[in-house]
Amino acid sequence: MLFDPLSALARVIVGVYSTNKTAAEADAWLRFGASLFGTAFVSFTGVWGMSIWALYPRLGVLAALVLGFADGLIAMAATTFLLWSRSPLTRGIPLMVPSQLAEKARQEDTTYTERK
């Protein structure tokens, strides 16, 4: 018999959702994970695209791609750090970040949006 990782994952998820308290907690963590993924994706791709658009005329294609990628990574780290630090789910869970990044993230002009 072969090991099927997808069915094993499905059994774990169904098992977690079978109890009320655990289901609410699992739902909160899944929502937080989706929020982290969405924040990382939007901030990375948005900053990368804007950086390429702004840097291409002056620096050329390769430099714009590389510098835009680096800008996107920094933006992604800063926004996901802010999301992590504001979430009630992550209280008491240590997260090590460079102090320069933490200070920069706190000084950045970011918008926290929530759909109802």
pLDDT digits (tens, 9 = 90+) for 40-59: 999 999 999 999 999 998 99
3-state secondary structure of 112: coil
Residue 98, pLDDT score? 79
- Compute the residue count for the chain: 116
- Residue indicated by tokens 């109802």: 116
Helices (H), the chain: 5-17, 20-59, 61-86, 99-107
Residue 113, pLDDT score? 64
- Residue 71, amino acid: D
Pick from 44, 45, 67: nearest CA to 56: 67
More reliable by pLDDT, 81 or 16: 81
- Asked if 35 contacts 27 with a C-beta cutoff of 8 angstroms, the reply is no
- Asked if 72 contacts 51 with a C-beta cutoff of 8 angstroms, the reply is yes
Residue 17, pLDDT score? 65
Q: What is the mean pLDDT of residues 79-101?
A: 83
Averaged pLDDT of the chain: 82
Residue 45, pLDDT score? 94
- Residue 52, amino acid: I
Residue 7 and residue 67: Cα distance in Å, rounded?
42
pLDDT of 1 over the 90 cut: no
- Asked if 116 contacts 88 with a C-beta cutoff of 8 angstroms, the reply is no
